[in-house]
Amino acid sequence: MAISIGTSFSSQVRPEDPAEDQPTLGLIGMGAMGRMYANLLAKAGWKKIHVCDLPSKYEELKEKYSNVPTITVMKDGHAVARSSDFMMYSVEAEFINKVVAEYGPSTKIGAIVAGQTSVKAPEKEAFEKYLPEDTEIVSCHSLHGPTVSPLGQPLILIKHRAQDSSLHLVEQIFRSFGSRYVYLSYEEHDLVTANTQAVTHAAFLSMGTAWASAKLYPWEQGLYVGGMETVKVNLALRIYSNLWHVYAGLAILNPKAKEQIDQYAKSVTELYKMMVEAGNKGEVNGNGYANGHGNINGNGHEKEKEKQLRERVEWARDKVFRKRNDEKRKPILLSQEILDKFSLGQRPSSPTSGSPGSSNYTPNSHLSLLAMVDCWAHLSINPFDHLSLAATPLFRLFLGVAEHLFLSPSLLNSAIHSAIYDTWHRSDDLEFVVAARGWSQCVRFGSFEVYRKRFDETREFFESRFEEAGKLGSDMIKEVMKSEVENK
């Protein structure tokens, strides 16, 4: 049982207070998120911030913060742990046990300790095993990347082994972030993050790998351009512009995430097979588009397969979105016209296919979206349960795209029609199936090294486009987040 003596600092302490009245804030790990926390705390006015990274990075880090008097760079985690009243481990979930084992015993008596890891089960185990019993645990997790403003974003706080006053002090330390506090247990955190991130990441990772395997930038072909495609392309590139370990820990170390990624690959595969089996045997033009509505009559077998595909898609729609039609809440996604402003390519000036509801956009199967909703339906996950609780910007946007597709009868009918009768995207869909199954196998094997290699191979293909896509993606997220605030 913990023998905590608690912190001696008032939970009402402010950055404006004299330095001697402020707690010393410590950060072990100065990667992208560690730097974000250090910079935000310094900007808020906290006067005693001790940080460290790997010993090999000491001189470089010291030079970087030489002009920031409130940030002191320490040689190692022992120095940070011994001097900090509140300290945070901002390290990869894969290494949290090793790092806490090394520096945990040096933790200052009565200190409050947190971890900024994406998977909390290994963190909880490490903290309980290696932290002295006279320390307290109030952990955290900002559900956004280092390039996204924390304003209004969910910041999970986990009061695991602490007094109420210690939780209030942590709240006060982070208040300047402008984040929205969400209070969970370690176990609830891992369930919520799996439900809001696992399938989203799997979908975007698979998109990127499929495009890289086909050796094409799809938006340059005038096919995957505009509207919903704008979100998919920008967010796929956004994921690959980050470091691989940001996603690997959640996928490999969270059992719930493994289950969902496996089901997503299964949904992708089964839906693709149904599309092929129901495929058009009628006349197809030279561009791979069905003429008009294709062979509507078909033979009995094909018609039955088409019926089965439609029934499965509509079953998933009803199970996931059944209650949404009765709610007054505005849709998540912005209009397609606004999204077009953030497109990397130009959409065609006229419809390319005879598919119903195609408007000015080239219809395609939207296999990634159909499979995502199918996956949620099979696992009985209601994505809206966690939307207001702890949704990341990526999850919010991808759910918005799915909502936009599934709640529009014309768009959904167009996707199903294209999936069956258009052949131009069939090879792209096959690449997507292979990619989704590959990522699922990678996660099932539990190999961080294989995960890194798969990620970096794809990342290399898109690297030259990150700067352009990064700005457009950030602007798009800001616009959607602004719209969400106005809706509320």
Residue 309 has pLDDT above 90, yes or no: yes
Of 444, 39, 458, 9, which Cα lies nearest the Cα of 254? 444
Question: Residue 162 corresponds to which tokens in the numbers above?
Answer: 């602490």
Residue 480 near residue 396 (C-beta atoms within 8 A): yes
Radius of gyration of the chain measured on its C-alpha atoms: 25
Q: Which residue has the tokens 């900024």?
A: 116
Residue 458 has pLDDT above 50, yes or no: yes
Residue-wise pLDDT tens digits, 282-293 = 444 445 555 444
Q: Which residue has the tokens 């509140």?
A: 86
Residue 162 has pLDDT above 60, yes or no: yes
Distance CA 110, CA 352 (A): 67
Structure confidence at residue 261 as a pLDDT band (50, 70, 90): very high
Question: Residue 306 corresponds to which tokens in the numbers above?
Answer: 């088409």
Distance CA 253, CA 421 (A): 41
Residues 254-280 have a mean pLDDT of 93
Of 232, 243, 241, which Cα lies nearest the Cα of 206? 232
Question: Residue 18 corresponds to which tokens in the numbers above?
Answer: 């004299």
Residue 428 near residue 210 (C-beta atoms within 8 A): yes
Q: Where is pLDDT greater, at 325 or 30?
A: 30
Give the type of residue at 353: S
3-state helix, strand, coil in the chain (%, to 5): 60, 10, 35
Structure confidence at residue 355 as a pLDDT band (50, 70, 90): very low
Mean pLDDT of the chain: 86
Residues 119-140 have a mean pLDDT of 97
CB neighbours of 456 closer than 8 A, spacing ≥ 6? 244
Structure confidence at residue 296 as a pLDDT band (50, 70, 90): very low
**Chain center to CA of 4:** 35
Looking from the CA of 173 toward its CB, the CA atoms found within 13 Å total 31
Residue 473 near residue 397 (C-beta atoms within 8 A): no
Residue 351 has pLDDT above 70, yes or no: no
Residue-wise pLDDT tens digits, 8-36 = 788 889 999 999 999 999 999 999 999 99
The predicted pLDDT at position 3 comes to: 43
The predicted pLDDT at position 242 comes to: 87
Residues 137-153 have a mean pLDDT of 91
Residues 109-115 have a mean pLDDT of 97
Strand order across the 112-115 sheet: 71-73, 49-52, 25-28, 86-89, 112-115, 136-142, 154-161, 180-183
160 phi and psi angles, rounded to 5 deg: -100, -45
Lowest mean pLDDT among 292-296, 444-448, 478-482: 292-296
Rounded to 10 deg, the angle between the 255-277 and 426-445 helix axes is 150
Rounded to 10 deg, the angle between the 409-421 and 393-406 helix axes is 80
Residue-wise pLDDT tens digits, 197-235 = 899 999 999 999 999 999 988 777 666 666 778 788 888
